[in-house]
Chains A and B, each alone.
Chain A
Amino acid sequence: MSATLTATPADTARAFLDALAAHDVEAALATVEPDVEVVVHPLGVSGTSRDVLRSVLGDLATAFPDLLLTVQRLIVTDDVVTALVKVEGTQAAAYAGIVNQEKHIDLDQAWRLTIADGRIVAVSAYWCQQQLYRRLGVKRFDQVTIVGGAQS
């Protein structure tokens, strides 16, 4: 029996989160099925492919190279693990259409991971994009790329 088949849902979730905390997106994706169902509500992103998740996580790790991910609670309910996490970091590149002003974020998020046979088969993520915008200096939702002071 492989290691993944003996892993508990919590083990798999921790492996995913630990890899993300270590900025190793590919290691995080190694715990994920290729046809994973992904819904990232605040970004309006969804799909059934590991590449969708690769894009979401890659963008985050690239934009915030000093990313600090802290797991506040890990709630295991059968084959579902809900991770309540805090994401912190300093913006170093454009993110979600937001130009880089080198501002700092601290953002509480919830990641609901569904796990089967030691692999993540579904991901849904929740956070408040308004809080993200506020921390990164965005003034209006409909003009995300135009930041405060940029207009004359």
Chain B
Amino acid sequence: MTAATACAVVTEFVDRYRAHDIDGMTDLCSINADFSYVPFEVWGKQRVLRGDGKVGTVGKVIWTGLITSFPNLTITVHTITGNDDGDVVVEADIAGTQQLPWGNIAPAGKRFSEPHLFAFHVGADGLIDGITGYWNNAGINGQLGHYEVD
């Protein structure tokens, strides 16, 4: 694995995300790829649902929901750096206009654009085996007109 190879895999992943090709995104991930969207947490009365698990079981569901609720969802990469161990760090803005409910946020036709940082790991087989994401949900929710801390 070289840094250039790892960055190329992640760049292709991002391109497929931009094209809303979720199956194509998961094709670039190993069957058991780890997934962690750190800010994603839904507080119920007795439990908290977090965006942690596997790409195939948690990531795919979140991506599908996002693209359904924000049909013009797009991603703009600002920086991408990698190393020969397969680590790739991406800074990107994700943006979209809400057309359907997202979580408990009713659609009001509003647009958000929010900076994200993603830490990927690409394994020796050339497949992504780890994705961790950071962003500010208060920024997104405020832009969508939802100000309650749930």
Contact (Cβ within 8 A) B117 A108: no
Q: Check A77/B41 contact, CB under 8 A, given A126-B115, A134-B149.
A: no
Chain A: interface size category: 20 to 34
Contact (Cβ within 8 A) A142 B119: no
Contact (Cβ within 8 A) A82 B119: yes
Q: B residues within 8 Å of A by Cβ?
A: 3, 38-39, 41, 43, 79, 81-83, 87-89, 91, 115-117, 119, 132, 134-139, 141-142, 147-150
Contact (Cβ within 8 A) A80 B89: yes
Contact of A41 among B139, B141, B147 (CB under 8 A): B139
Question: Does A6 sit at the interface, judged by CB under 8 A?
Answer: no
Please give, as numbers and ranges, the residues of chain A lying within 8 Å of B91 by CB-CB distance: 112, 124
Inter-chain CA distance A95–B117, complex, in Å, is 24
Interface string of A37-72 (1 = CB under 8 A from B): 000011000000000000000000000000000000
Interface string of A132-145 (1 = CB under 8 A from B): 01100011111100
Shortest beta-carbon distance from B19 to chain A in Å: 25
Q: Check A141/B138 contact, CB under 8 A, given A82-B117, A126-B115, A134-B149.
A: yes
Please give, as numbers and ranges, the residues of chain B lying within 8 Å of A41 by CB-CB distance: 115, 135-136, 139
Give the residue name and chain of the B residue nearest to A132 (CB). Answer: B138
6 pairs, CB–CB < 8 Å, chain A vs chain B: A41-B139, A80-B81, A82-B119, A127-B134, A130-B141, A134-B150
Contact (Cβ within 8 A) A77 B149: no
Question: Does A129 sit at the interface, judged by CB under 8 A?
Answer: yes
Q: Check A129/B138 contact, CB under 8 A, given A84-B119, A141-B149.
A: yes
Please give, as numbers and ranges, the residues of chain B lying within 8 Å of A134 by CB-CB distance: 43, 149-150
Inter-chain CA distance A140–B148, complex, in Å, is 4
Please give, as numbers and ranges, the residues of chain B lying within 8 Å of A128 by CB-CB distance: 38-39, 134-138
Contact (Cβ within 8 A) A110 B141: no
